[in-house]
Structure 1
């Protein structure tokens, strides 16, 4: 599939395999890459008076020499500023030799307002901070308010983590990368530093990428549409799954109702709110299609499981932290069976801050219910402090390690939400929006995840789909969104997904 994400090391291997298989040699792939960048510059800035090309000593710089040559051939006044020279005999050295523009030391680079800068200093594989000359170039571009086009990735940003390798990194208006995106293109702050991202086809085929065996993907319908649920003609409400959501006490019921309504809007055939006795009246006032049942403790929960056999649970939103919640988690994981799922959020995560091993061990039992965790950054740090505190790990790596330790799916929330499975698969969500930074939006997400689980989607795919749908609903609704709007805002998203699934048009990317 075309939504694979390759690490810098995997991309280097894809280059090697593509060159070995042909028909393109290394220098031909470099020429193709430079041509793709030059075309973007000419398309976006057809009246550009002067373009500065900053070239490093490696393959990224080689791409830059090709860009400079092609822009000059097109009549653009192009200058080349080099930091170091390419290694003799390399593809980059050949590209530099083919460039008719004499390279000048980068220390003399001095752009003016209105110029365009091509950042071809260092690509995604950068592992050390930029040199003082490169940092100076960044400062000059910033001071002159220059538009920067980054080749592969803005220099100074790690392709692995999306974080600056040192204290400074270029900030691009446009980034042109090749064949596939890398984690650093989608993980913050790298995503912001890239500006608009263009993925150019330079001749590295899908079969070559598939041979790499990447387990990381950009989240979107292409990843999970094959398992997305659509009601059959002979379906009934329990065939569409039954979701049970636990409510907090009388003063903390709203979060659970948001989850319950989202589960209903997400397609679950039946939803039951499990309420303590002291909150039954307040919940009853606000519920219509969602059913209500009294559950005061773990024994009541076990009785409900035996009686109604729900397909999925949501526990944590507004429930309260403590032993009562932990007992409910163990009751579900141990009693409901492996065909059932539990979405644990908010207080459900924090309740295991001091005893995470008890959760991991119970979830790891083969007969246990499937567990999906939806932490934000603070909750993640409470449950996985060692992983969260390791600055050498990317958000992607942290989510993967957490999923393996949990024996369940982890939805590590944020503007660059990462969904990770214990089998190593992971997806980075790219349609996130700041509109979701509103109280209660996470409760809605938990309900959508549970709805898809209840309808039979595998846990990783259900979590990926829910994250994408949640963000897409917010984006379509627009400014003024509050959490109460989200369940209804799901309707046009669901309508399009079901229509696309039914006619096979592939209209949603």
Structure 2
């Protein structure tokens, strides 16, 4: 799915969407509006051709019957193939269809120039198999999915049984997590959200807890005339000795996104010299080993926000630094080596501000997230009391109180070494500038995705801090 900035922030699970329908009432009117939205979307994107609507027995199928009727009225060659007899409001929509009913057979699919997948919506609770899966698997024509591609779980994006890739998916009112979480996101093709007359005030009753990440969820800190370097936040980054460049990437990102002061804390002289030469605007402190370095940091009460992990070895010394800094009440952003150092001991992370694991690091701490990344991230956040940013092309940001956001603007060019170090630096900087951990993590993930988009092909991690700055500036224009 192409990132869609027009997606409203609230994401509704299938159960929440059903509740929105119930609160709004007048099911036949909503079905008519949904089918109309499907027909309009098709007419805007495809030339008239032979259309076959695959209709299921429920409301999804009812939307398909309405779309078929309106396309035929517009002069398109349309037929409907029903998997099973319609029920409920779908039976009313089917009764208004006067066009041809075609066999639910592969031969009909082969003759179609366009397929409308109106078999099952986002609430499908069993694997898609049998004739429905066989027909979709045999399709050669473009597919337009109603609500979600059949077989995709609207709550998780996971595939149940089988799901075919759609060229276009028409959703209604609000997107669902499954529209943004992979593999569902990849199978949706272009996502269009249609207004079908549901009043926005139903959201006050539903109180959704999952959101599409974007600037509607947070506001970046902005300096004013009274600001000075101390008021704009101080980030301390503990550097490793073997991969000191990781700390440099994080420091550059932290400075570019607004931290007034950034300190690179080194446990050896060579790293300290490198940092002084490579990042002259940062403060550099050094000590003879990690224990002395931690002592110096703990003796300075101004060092409240500390980034620990980029370039650090996943060993007992790093784990001891995590435990000691948490015990002292410091606000920690933990990444990379700091996370792996606590493998199998996630309780050691309790009290951190933000954790930024990729899927492998997450698995080592909490177990494999499996098909439901959203629930896995929420449980990890609840158990640690930290905001968890589970990285990926569909990064999930989860707070201990159950809020969650899905980041959907990350292009494939972000799959490059060092990008995670930059992300951790952005998050630490925003945290030091006064943003709450959930908002800081969300903003960091979005800014990095937008930075990659602005830069385009050939992206290196070194390009991200400046591009993230441009992304932040664009929000104020």
Which of 178, 184, 202 aligns to 1:208? It is: 202
Residue in structure 2 matched with residue 358 of structure 1 by the alignment: 348
Query: Could you tell me which residue of structure 1 aligns to residue 267 of structure 2?
Result: 276
For 1:28 and 1:280, the matched residues in 2 are separated by 68
- Mapped pair 1:162 → 2:157: yes
- 1:284-304 per-position Cα deviation (integer Å, ceiling 9, x unaligned): 332200110014324532432
Equivalent in the alignment of 1:48: 48
User: Which one of 1, 12, 29 corresponds to residue 6 of structure 1?
Assistant: 12
Report the equivalent of 1:196.
190
The 3-state SS of whatever aligns with 2:42 is helix
Equivalent residue, structure 2, for 1:507: none
- In structure 2, the partner of 1:425 is 403
Instruction: Tell me how far apart the structure 1 counterparts of residues 90 and 122 of structure 2 sit (CA, whole Å).
Output: 16
Q: State the SS of the aligned residue for 2:102.
A: strand
Aligned partners of 1:376 and 1:413 also within 8 Å: yes
Q: Does residue 1:238 correspond to 2:234, yes or no?
A: no
Q: Structure 1 residues 68-77 or 294-303, which shifts more?
A: 294-303
The answer as to whether partners of 2:171 and 2:194 remain within 8 angstroms in 1 is: yes
Q: Does structure 1 residue 372 correspond to structure 2 residue 348?
A: no
Which position in structure 2 is the counterpart of 1:312? 305
List alignment gaps of at least 5 residues for structure 1.
Answer: 20-24, 364-369, 501-509
Q: What per-residue deviation string (whole Å, max 9, x for no partner) do you get for residues 142-191 of structure 1?
A: xx3x111100000111111111101x212110000001111110000100
Counterparts of 1:324-473 in structure 2, within 5 Å, are 324-335=317-328, 337=329, 340-360=330-350, 363=351, 370-385=352-367, 388=368, 391=370, 394-473=372-451
Asked if the contact 2:102–2:108 (Cα under 8 Å) also holds between the matched residues in 1, the reply is no
Q: Give the TM-score normalised by the residue count of structure 2.
A: 0.95
**CA distance in structure 2 between the aligned counterparts of 1:492 and 1:425, rounded to whole angstroms:** 28
1:106 aligned counterpart, secondary structure:
coil
- Structure 1 counterpart SS, 2:425: helix
Q: CA, structure 1 residues 491+356, in 2 after alignment: closer, same or farther (shift >3 Å)?
A: closer
Residues 1:332 and 1:372: Cα distance change in structure 2 (over 3 Å): same
State TM-score, norm by structure 1: 0.89
Cα distance in 1, alignment partners of residues 366 and 383 from structure 2: 9
CA-based RMSD of the aligned residues comes to 1.6
Give the conservation status (yes or no) of the 8 Å contact 2:8–2:212.
no
Q: Give distance in 2, aligned partners of 1:103 and 1:122.
A: 19
Aligned residues of 2:79 and 2:99 also touching (Cα < 8 A) = yes
Is 1:261 aligned with 2:243? no
- Post-superposition Cα deviations, 1:292-351, rounded to whole Å, max 9, x if no partner, equal 00143245324324335124111111111112112211222122x3xx521100001000
**Which residue, 284, 296, 307 being the options, matches 1:292?**
284
Count of aligned pairs between the two proteins: 469
Q: Cα distance, 1:275 vs. partner?
A: 0.4
How far, CA to CA, are the matches of 1:269 and 1:27 in structure 2?
58
The Cα shift of 1:356 comes to 2.4
Contact 1:81 1:109 in 2 (8 A): no
C-alpha spacing 1:114/1:96, structure 2 compared with 1 (3 Å): closer
User: Alpha-carbon deviation of 1:441?
Assistant: 0.3
Which structure 1 residue ranges, 4+ long, deviate > 4 Å from structure 2?
Answer: none
Post-superposition Cα deviations, 1:1-21, rounded to whole Å, max 9, x if no partner, equal 9411011111111110111xx
- How is 1:92-171 mapped onto 2 (pairs within 5 angstroms)? 92-107=90-105, 109-112=107-110, 115-141=113-139, 144=140, 146-166=141-161, 168-171=162-165
* Aligned mates of 1:102, 1:108 — CA distance in 2: 17
Q: Alignment partner of 2:79: what SS?
A: strand
User: CA 1:109–1:128 in 2, change beyond 3 Å: closer, same or farther?
Assistant: farther
CA distance in 2, matches of 1:82, 1:402: 43
For 1:129 and 1:394, locate their aligned partners in 2 and report how far apart those are by CA, in whole Å.
16
Mapped partners of 2:312, 2:8: distance in 1: 41
Instruction: Give 5+ residue unaligned stretches, structure 2.
Output: 1-6
Range 236-245 or range 290-299, more displaced: 290-299
Matched, 1:187 2:150: no
Q: What is the rounded CA distance, in whole Å, between the counterparts of 1:202 and 1:224 in structure 2?
A: 28
> What is the rounded CA distance, in whole Å, between the counterparts of 1:220 and 1:318 in structure 2?
29
Q: Quick check: 1:81 aligned with 2:81?
A: yes
1:59, distance to aligned residue in structure 2 (A): 0.4
CA offsets 1:219-277 (integer angstroms, 9 cap, x no match): 0001112xx2000211100100000001111x321101111111001100000000012
Partners of 1:484 and 1:113 in 2: how far apart?
A: 52
Cα distance in 2 for residues equivalent to 1:384 and 1:424: 17
Distance 1:86 1:111, change over 3 A: closer
Deviation at 1:139? 2.4
Map 1:471-490; keep pairs closer than 5 Å. 471-490=449-468
Distance 1:4 1:170 in 2: 26
Deviation at 1:112, TM superposition (A): 4.3
